[in-house]
Amino acid sequence: MSQLPSSQTSWRHIWQLSWPIMIANLSQPLVGAADTAMMGHLADPSLIGGVALGSVIIHFLLMLFGFLRMSTTALTSQALGATDIKSIQRPLQRGLLIGLSFGLIFIALSSIIAQISTQIMPASEAVEGHMRDYVSIQIFAMPALLMNAAMLGWLYGMQSMRLGMVQLLLINGLNILLNFIFVLGFDGGIKGVALASVIANWIGFLFVAIMLSRQFRRYLSGFVSISHALTSEGWSAYGNLSRDIIIRTLLLYFVELTLLYAASEQGDVPLASIQIIVVIFGIISYSLDGFAHASEALVGEAIGAKRQDALKQIIWRATALAGLASLFMSLLLAIFAQPLLLTLTSYDAVISTTKDLWFYVLCLAPAAFLAFQMDGIFIGAANGRALRNGMIISFIVFGASLFGLSQISFIPALDGVLIAFILYLMTRGITLMIRLPELLIIANTTKSP
């Protein structure tokens, strides 16, 4: 049994790991807002559509490879708890290798990706042309984007959240700055927006690579041995966990698509209202993910060290902090509802419709915090099967609730959509929470991958 200092499970330590992630995460939506704003100030409105469709393509590819961050965090933190230096570097080696390989594949297939995208999401000729311009340049950021995700996962696994925060703030801040320079300064248009992302992500990659080589020299000795990364044990653990995370992520994506589709059937104003609520939910998610990511690192370390007592404390304290944060968010949403809505839209009809649904908005954070926390806990435990199965059950509950509530005449359509979504969030948390006892057993039997 490895030693895990009591300070690692303290309320203060959990908070110190959580707040940098919260700040870094909240910077990410600003990049998308800046991209849209840059195009919104140009004469051609089709540029906004081109950025929107291009961003959907890139974000979908990144979503599929979200396991690079999560799997790397889980397996690194467990190796850290077991004080196995060779196993600590393997998840990063594999994450970088996968990220670079698929990033180069995406570059080679960029024209095919754009062509398929226009078939799935048809638009005007002008919008499709701008989308191709955007993707043809933005795709060169993919190797850096994917490798950055792997490095961020490794930093989280090593509990170096502040360097992870620096990475995200550097990339996102530089991206926004270069947007202004290339679009407004050099009249680069949509190509300028894409080029800003490419440069920002490669600079971010180089910066963090240098910082890793300096700050973590002890753990990265012999790191560049590709043969060791390819032939050493642990690929099955990485692959199985990543496979389950991909399935979970796809189902999560389909839930959000279904949510928007169900709203679109009610008309443009209801769709706009639900989109605003989705944006607010995104802000809630980015904030609460700070506690979830901290849980990934700490749970993995406790399991790697085979410390049941530490594991219990981490689960309880991190979840309690996330629960309190969710109530605080609901309080802020109740107090600042009007100014927030005026910031997000100027259309009276959309504001009125969203206000009618505000009770559900206030329920989002309390309903979601347990789901996010359980995700973080089970990712840290590298228990992908539980994550996958819990998401499958939650997806079924969402679909059944959405259909069932639509058949009840006295429940308004949008109310039914949001009730189904809240039930789905609660189910995600509950299906995993009831499996927590399994982790206590794992903490006594697991070995670092």
B/e letters for 434-448, b = 16+ CB within 10 Å, e = fewer, are: ebbeebeebbeebeb
Q: Mark whether 248 and 375 lie in a shared domain.
A: yes
Q: Which two tokens stand for residue 134?
A: 């955007």
- Owner of token pair 């944006």: 279
CB 385 within 8 A of CB 308: no
Q: What sign results for the dihedral spanned by CA atoms 219, 224, 225, 226?
A: positive
Domain's final residue, options 187, 203, 232: 232
- Secondary element (H or E) of residue 182: none
Rg (CA), the chain: 22
User: Which residues span the domain enclosing 125?
Assistant: 7-232
Q: Within 13 Å, how many C-alpha atoms sit on residue 233's CB side?
A: 5
The two most distant CA atoms of the chain are separated, in Å, by 66
* Residue with token string 């995460």: 25
- The pair of structure tokens assigned to 75 is 């397996």
- 388 domain residue, yes or no: yes
Contacts of 434 (CB under 8 A, 6+ apart): none
What tokens were used for 430? Answer: 């509950």
Question: Tell me, what DSSP letter sits at residue 183?
Answer: I
CA distance 313 to 11: 9
CA angle, 29 as apex, 178 and 257 as ends, to 5°?
130
Which helix or strand (DSSP H or E) is residue 217 part of? Answer: none
Does the residue 92 lie in any domain?
yes
Count of other CB atoms within 10 angstroms of residue 246: 18
| Same structural domain, 292 and 421 | yes
- Residue 53 in any domain: the answer is yes
Phi-psi region of 267 (alpha: psi -120 to 50; beta: other; left: phi over 0): left
Looking at the fold, whether 146 and 198 belong to one and the same domain comes out as: yes
- Same domain? For 306 and 393 the reply is yes
Neighbours of 15 (CB within 10 A): 15
Asked if residue 298 belongs to a domain, the reply is: yes
| 399 domain residue, yes or no | yes
- Scan for tokens 């419709």, then name that residue: 353
Same domain as 170, residue 70: yes
Residue 24 covered by a domain: yes
**What is the H or E stretch that residue 139 is in?**
none
Q: Are 124 and 48 in contact (CB under 8 A)?
A: no
Residues 205 and 254 in one domain: no
Q: How far is CA 323 from CA 232, 270, 403, in A?
A: 41, 30, 30
Query: Is the same domain home to 228 and 344?
Result: no
User: Does the residue 378 lie in any domain?
Assistant: yes
Answer with the one of 206, 232, 258 that is the final residue of a domain.
Answer: 232
Torsion sign, CA atoms 239, 245, 246, 248: positive
For residues 280 and 178, state if they share a domain: no
Last residue of a domain, one of 232, 256, 278: 232
Q: Please give the DSSP secondary-structure letter assigned to residue 181.
A: I
What is the pLDDT, as a whole number, of residue 97? 92
**Domain presence at residue 2:** no
Angle formed at CA 346 by CA 36 and CA 174, multiple of 5 degrees: 25
pLDDT at residue number 1: 45
Residues 222 and 254 in one domain: no
161 and 284 share a domain?
no
Same domain, 407 and 434: yes
Interior angle at CA 105, CA 99 and CA 111, nearest 5: 130
Per-residue pLDDT of the chain (449 residues; tens, 9 = 90+): 445 555 567 888 899 999 999 988 888 777 766 666 666 556 566 666 677 777 778 888 888 898 999 999 999 999 888 887 778 888 898 999 999 999 999 999 988 887 887 777 666 677 777 788 888 888 999 999 999 999 999 999 999 999 999 999 999 899 889 988 887 777 777 788 889 999 999 999 999 999 998 888 887 776 666 666 666 666 778 888 999 999 999 999 889 888 878 887 788 788 878 878 888 898 899 899 999 999 999 998 999 888 888 899 999 999 999 999 999 999 999 999 998 888 777 778 888 888 999 999 999 999 999 999 999 999 999 899 999 999 999 999 999 999 999 888 778 888 999 999 999 999 999 999 999 988 877 766 544 44
Provide the domain count of the chain: 2
Sequence-distant (≥ 6) Cβ neighbours of residue 49 within 8 angstroms: 123, 124, 126, 127, 130, 131
Q: Which tokens sit at 234?
A: 């642990």
What is the C-alpha to C-alpha distance for residues 28 and 169, in angstroms, rounded to an integer? 8
